[in-house]
Structure 1
Amino acid sequence: MKRNVMIVMAGLALLASCAQNTKPKAQNEAKGTEEQVPVFAVGTTRAVKGQIRDYLALSGDIVSGTTVDAYSDVAGKVTKLYVSVGQRVEKDEPLAEVDPSRPGMTFNTGVVKAPISGTVIALPAQLGMTISQAVPVARLAGSGSLEARAFVAERFISKMRVGLPVELTLDAYPGRTFYGRVRELSPTVDPVSRTMEVRITVKNEDNALKTGMFAKIKIITEEKSSIVKIPAAAIVRRYGEQYVFTVETDPKDPAFTIAHKRIVTPGILIDDQAEIREGLEADVEVVLRGQSLLEDGVRVRVVETTAPLKTTY
């Protein structure tokens, strides 16, 4: 009997020892589970205060600012052409001869002269053609400033006004930008194409531009300065809200950083840049990549930093 009691006591002692060894291990595992807070890797940039502008991109042609048609004083057959398209002429220089003679009737030949100095850009009358006084023999482009001609779609007409600044680029001069302003808006809209013609004066100080060249045109419709802007990709649009995530120090543990959700009001959106009217200040660090999985208050780690946008153009 005494032997059995001793065996039972030994067993109880062994169980107590095992329980004491297991309890700290279970406590450590529970503590480790509590400390495993997810951390999201993100890329960031900084909001800047600077300039932004909205523009309308068009294509157009370089044309002469002034064109004049030369007419014959008499009706008859064109017997001579003294000029060709692209040729430079001076005022009163002969352009063509027109013979008004008829069968049985001989008249002196009429000479068509250039009404201005300029360049021949068209010859509506061809050699051997019979013309009247209402048919132009030649069209001359004056030597004044050149213009760009473009056509604006009807839905953008409300943005157009005389005096808007314009930037032009041409394939003939890669890397170079020409500047001008809207000079004239057509009073009518083409009923077929639903477009309005726009005339733009262009600075051509070194005569690099030539009539007939193709141009890519930017009409600056709105320009703002001292506004907060960020890359458009940083804005999250979800459930009718527009917001960004900023990176801030965790108030509970300054050793970590968290993502803070900020509702923003965007303004102009152009060339992947977004104006922020409300909800964000300049020089704040904004999440640019990895924000799709974030929620307000989660911990983040910045693994990539992108240079801020340029403040001016």
Structure 2
Amino acid sequence: MKRIVIGVLALFLVGMVGYRVITHGEEPAVKDIDAYQAEMGIPVEVERVLPGTLTVSRNFTGTVEGARQADAIANATQKITAIPVEVGDAVEQGQVVAELDVDMASARSLRYRQSRATYEDAKRDYERMKSLFEAGAVSEQALDKAKLAYEIAARNFEAAKKLVKIEAPISGVVTRVYYKVGETAATGRPVVRVADLKEVLIKIDINETQISGIRNGQAVEVSVPAYPGRVFAGKLENLSLSADPRSRTFEGWVRVKNPEGLLRPGMFAKVAVHTAVMENVLTVAKDAIVEKDGKTWVYVIDEEEMARLREVQLGQESDNRVQVVAGLAPKEQVVVLGQNKLQPGRKVNVVAAQS
């Protein structure tokens, strides 16, 4: 075993001596990043300037609301004994969404209990009279009298139920529950809110510098953080004709169809109002713009793959692109990524190109 170890060490020493002889005793030099970039060029991403369509838009934020929503109101100051719905539940108009205590010593509770007892008695009498009529024991007139009494009692009971049972005012989705079971509802106060979410509204505030070019009926794109990358189409409506004297802003509402029910009240929304569509104009990505000495510039790549800083004049803009009015020609290449490391006249290495 000892002989094997000695042999391996000897081979290792011979190999090291041979390596030193081949490399003349020197290790290979490693270039630093500056030297590499000076030789190969600074890596950048570019795009070619081409005529195209620019959709001009102005951006706002707002909160999603139900286009049609209503509160179920408490019609008595009584303790809540049941709330059979939760936020997100679908309900039909007239469906019970909360119940008040019927055992409390109030006139409303007493009326409810009396009408319920009268209804139950009338129902039993009517069922009994039907059986007797079918057996030939009573006249049709007696049956009709029992039926009328039952129908009157049923209507009175339905009216009395509204005193202690709170119903959904519209069909839709429960978006808010204001009370908990055991708490006392106050007369005239909302207990449950229901919204029809087939369409939603988003209120936006438009300041004086943005109002030019904005009008009712313009197309709108809406996005929410809950669904990244998804855009919902809408229209601007009910744009106010005068600014609020305090905020100096104009109020506008965006209506969005919501057949899938994805947009929910309370969601934060970004709104892009399209004010114009410009055809056959030169544009560049906003990322390409360099601001310097109060002017706007871009880095243009010449035939020798050198970066040249050129002043440009800008026009209208969209969310991520801007019109170039002067300073660029079609098919020129501009840097959109990596320009923060550039200096005029530096060689570049194009690692990616956008069309």
Query: Do both share a fold (TM > 0.5)?
Result: yes
Matches within 5 A, 1:67-82: 67-72=69-74, 74-82=75-83
Equivalent pair of 1:45/1:285 in contact (CA under 8 Å): yes
- Residue 202 of structure 1 is matched in structure 2 by 256
Equivalent pair of 2:173/2:194 in contact (CA under 8 Å): yes
**In 1, Cα distance between equivalents of 2:330 and 2:72:** 62
Identity of aligned residues (%): 27
- Residue 235 of structure 2 is matched in structure 1 by 181
Cα deviation per residue 1:142-200 (whole Å; 9 max; x = unaligned)? 25323334445565344543233232333433333322222334567677776655432
Return closer, same or farther for 1:194/1:82 CA change in 2, 3 Å cut-off.
Answer: same
The structure 2 residue matched to 1:138, chosen from 184, 192, 207, is 192
Deviation for aligned residue 1:56: 3.5
- Residue 63 of structure 1 is matched in structure 2 by 65
**In 2, Cα distance between equivalents of 1:97 and 1:258:** 78
- Residue 24 of structure 2 is matched in structure 1 by none
Deviation for aligned residue 1:226: 1.2
Return closer, same or farther for 1:131/1:267 CA change in 2, 3 Å cut-off.
Answer: same
**In 1, Cα distance between equivalents of 2:191 and 2:335:** 67
**In 1, Cα distance between equivalents of 2:286 and 2:94:** 60
- Residue 267 of structure 1 is matched in structure 2 by 315
- Residue 307 of structure 1 is matched in structure 2 by 353
Equivalent pair of 2:307/2:343 in contact (CA under 8 Å): no
Per chain length, whose mean CA-contact separation is higher, i.e. which structure has more relative contact order (CA < 8 Å, sep 6+)?
A: 2
Equivalent pair of 1:236/1:292 in contact (CA under 8 Å): no
Greater share of residues in strand: 1
Equivalent pair of 1:69/1:136 in contact (CA under 8 Å): yes
Residue identity opposite 1:131 in structure 2: A
**In 2, Cα distance between equivalents of 1:55 and 1:197:** 17
1:107 equivalenced with 2:111 (yes/no): yes
| SS of residue paired to 1:107 | helix
| SS of residue paired to 2:210 | helix
**In 1, Cα distance between equivalents of 2:293 and 2:83:** 73
TM-score, normalised on structure 1? 0.60
Matches within 5 A, 1:164-179: 164-179=218-233
Return closer, same or farther for 1:141/1:47 CA change in 2, 3 Å cut-off.
Answer: same
Deviation for aligned residue 1:92: 1.7
Residue identity opposite 1:307 in structure 2: A
Deviation for aligned residue 1:93: 1.8
1:49 equivalenced with 2:103 (yes/no): no
Deviation for aligned residue 1:227: 0.4
- Residue 90 of structure 1 is matched in structure 2 by 92
Equivalent pair of 1:78/1:125 in contact (CA under 8 Å): no
Deviation for aligned residue 1:48: 0.8
Deviation for aligned residue 1:90: 1.4
Greater share of residues in helix: 2
Return closer, same or farther for 1:123/1:281 CA change in 2, 3 Å cut-off.
Answer: same
TM-score, normalised on structure 2? 0.54
| SS of residue paired to 1:156 | coil
Return closer, same or farther for 1:101/1:267 CA change in 2, 3 Å cut-off.
Answer: same
Cα deviation per residue 1:193-240 (whole Å; 9 max; x = unaligned)? 766554322233333333443434333344322101234566676777
Aligned residues: 255
**In 2, Cα distance between equivalents of 1:137 and 1:235:** 54
Gaps of 5+ in 1: 1-40, 250-255, 295-299
Return closer, same or farther for 1:233/1:118 CA change in 2, 3 Å cut-off.
Answer: closer
Equivalent pair of 1:230/1:273 in contact (CA under 8 Å): yes
**In 2, Cα distance between equivalents of 1:287 and 1:276:** 14
Cα deviation per residue 1:89-113 (whole Å; 9 max; x = unaligned)? 212222334569548x943351332
**In 2, Cα distance between equivalents of 1:206 and 1:277:** 42
Return closer, same or farther for 1:77/1:196 CA change in 2, 3 Å cut-off.
Answer: farther
**In 2, Cα distance between equivalents of 1:306 and 1:102:** 79
